[in-house]
Amino acid sequence: MNENETDTKAEKGAPEAPQKEEKEQPQINSTEMIDRANAAAQRLEEANKKQEELIKRQEALQVRQLLGGKAEAGTPQKEETPEEYTKRVMENRTRPKDS
């Protein structure tokens, strides 16, 4: 390219090469960065321990609920009288009402 072509591109609003005036970010030394990473890792480990404890407690609660005797077996059922049976059959119901 010659000088005339670059002048015409600049006049037309063509993007120029990026300048090195980027925002200066504060320099973090490597030891500070490592300390931050170690602190974050320690927080994660503590959170994992708490979560593990909560999971164990939840599992124990589920076991207690399953073995707690909430089964329907052994509950007395009301016997259906012949009148109730005929009424149920006439209404075309297959199962007796729970009452």
DSSP H helical ranges for the chain: 3-11, 30-66, 82-90
> Residue 83: which pLDDT band, with cuts at 50, 70 and 90?
very high
Do 47 and 53 form a contact (C-beta atoms < 8 A)? no
> Residue 79: which pLDDT band, with cuts at 50, 70 and 90?
confident
CA-based torsion, 86, 89, 93, 96: positive or negative: positive
Q: Which residue has the higher pLDDT, 45 or 69?
A: 45
pLDDT of residue 8: 52
Task: Locate 82 and state its tokens.
Answer: 């012949």
pTM beyond 0.75, yes or no:
no
Give pLDDT tens digits for 28-61.
Answer: 788 999 999 999 999 999 999 999 999 999 999 9
For residue 81, which of 69, 71, 89, 92 has the smallest C-alpha distance? 89
